[in-house]
Structure 1
């Protein structure tokens, strides 16, 4: 059985991330891990989180896919002129700079800038924030993929696939609403870090959920 693990927003919380990686590797001998974005800002250890993800899995039996979140978008935009730097700093960028002890190194910014916005498989769509129905996936606006928010009770058809995202924190998450699962359980706000486990051969929502303390 092939498995995919999707991990919600991390926001500089290296301890929960490392504990979750251990939980995932204890759960199965191999698989794919999709990180849903927002690795930096607000929490104390953004640098350690980025370095961990850049290094990749310790075993060739695992594949890691890191998607871009809106906080990676803010950080890279603050450095390339797309966004106002003060906007990023006011939304957790100060904590990120503190974790680096100065400016974010270019290799780390380049890694963030190059992250994909979307990952799909035969049964699911993985994205940081969401997608707009009525548009083909290839026509989705990057801003929506990183910034869109859903009301709690909203589901959708999503082209017959299950949508897996983070971005909108709530202590009620992880929560599956119809054809959509939100995995942002507010780790950096005192909640937990959440991971959904999917059987790649079966459609629909998570087979089970893993959580570690924030």
Structure 2
């Protein structure tokens, strides 16, 4: 029997969408009788969406309750922790003109979910002081401890992708969390099917050597959930499995 895994794309604080993804997985488990296959969340749990706190609470409670769940660290997850450590620090993957509280990043939505409102409109020192009081240390510890990737069966689950021609143990954290090119344009086989998010598309795409599951939930679009057996991928919907075929010549994003 082929190794089965479930995977969920970038969540970005969208708790109802996450709950629906988990419900669809339970439906698939009921249809197939397999309750052990892990559910791998591909990172970017935080920012942009309205209920980051609820997303993290849900994942922490599920994992503590022995749900077969795993979450990968995303670049936004790292930026949140970095802001709490030093509000003036800039993640090395971020454009120098941006900051965590820039509306394009969405950090203000994360802080608002913890009861720190209007972060982008107030002195950063005051915002930081409030955040240190309101954000549970357990949430920060959870995010800091997230793994950078997970290898299972024929698949490698990672947030952004890989640096081509670099062995997995030699990949840098910055690349695993932030890379786009030259990864997105590389058509070569990476040894495993790379299942990733980070680069938002209108819908999930299977390129043959990789699968991008970031369907833009952080911008109000649907959250993608799939089941993978070997290198075959199906998207899960209300009516069950929908094949996600390899798309030759698809746009390299």
Query: TM-score if structure 1 supplies the norm length?
Result: 0.88
What is the alpha-carbon distance in structure 2 between the residues aligned to residue 119 and residue 64 of structure 1?
12
RMSD: 2.1
The answer as to 2:201 corresponding to 1:170 is: yes
Three-state SS of the structure 2 residue aligned to 1:65 is strand
SS in 1 for 2:68: strand
Distance 1:211 1:8 in 2: 14
1:156 is matched with 188
Alignment match, 1:45: 51
Q: Tell me the distance in 2 between the aligned counterparts of 1:35 and 1:165.
A: 10
Residue 192 of structure 1 aligns to a residue whose secondary structure is coil
Larger radius of gyration: 2
Give the number of aligned pairs.
205
What whole-Å deviation, never above 9, does each CA across 1:6-51 have from its counterpart, x for those lacking one?
A: 1000101001000110110111141210000001110100100010
Structure 1, 144-153 or 129-138: larger mean CA deviation: 144-153
Give distance in 2, aligned partners of 1:80 and 1:183: 30
Distance 1:70-1:5 versus aligned 2 partners, 3 A rule: same
Identify the structure with the greater strand proportion.
1
Conserved 8 A contact 2:164-2:186: no
| Distance (Å, rounded) in 2 between the aligned partners of 1:211 and 1:69 | 25
**2:138 matched to 1:133?**
no
Question: Hey, what's the Cα distance between the residues in 1 that align with 2:169 and 2:22?
Answer: 31
Residues 156 and 180, structure 1, Cα contact 8 Å, conserved in 2? no
Runs of 5+ in structure 1 lacking a partner?
Answer: none
Residue in 2 aligned with 1:117? 148
Does 2:214 align with 1:184? yes
Tell me, in whole angstroms, the C-alpha distance in 1 between the residues paired with 2:237 and 2:8. Answer: 9
Q: How far has the Cα of 1:57 moved from its partner?
A: 5.2
Q: Which whole-Å CA distance do the structure 1 matches of 2:23 and 2:71 have between them? A: 17
Shift of 1:178: 2.1
Residue 77 of structure 2: aligned partner: 72
SS of residue matched to 1:16: helix
Q: Deviation per CA, 1:91-112, whole angstroms, max 9, x where unpaired? A: 1111111011032221111110
- The 2-side partners of 1:152 and 1:127 are apart by 13
Measured in 1, the distance between the counterparts of 2:214 and 2:237 equals 11
What is the rounded CA distance, in whole Å, between the counterparts of 1:88 and 1:198 in structure 2? 34
